[in-house]
Amino acid sequence: MDELPSSKAVQRLVDKQIAVRSGNFYAVRCLEALNIQNTQEGAIRFSLVHYNSSEDVDRLVEGLREL
């Protein structure tokens, strides 16, 4: 998603009630190894765990498709 800053992508997903965040998540070296530079807004993170429903996953996938 080079054309859309992480913060804007996150806000669009949050507006759809999808819990995501952006940043470096204290993993600067990992992001550098993935060629995500400090000048960028970082990565987008979403965490799926045992209490997420299949509807949550479907909403996330649809939200990502819309981006």
Sequence spans of domains, the chain = 6-66
Eight-state DSSP code of residue 40: S
Q: Which amino acid is at 25?
A: F
Task: From residue 50, give the alpha-carbon distance in Å to each of 20, 56, 64.
Answer: 16, 11, 21
43 or 64, which is more confident: 64
The residues with which 23 forms a beta bridge, in sequence order, are 43
Tokens of 15: 């507006």
Band of residue 39 on the pLDDT scale cut at 50, 70, 90: low
The yes-or-no verdict on residue 6 having pLDDT over 70 is: yes
Q: Tell me the whole-structure pTM to 2 decimals.
A: 0.75
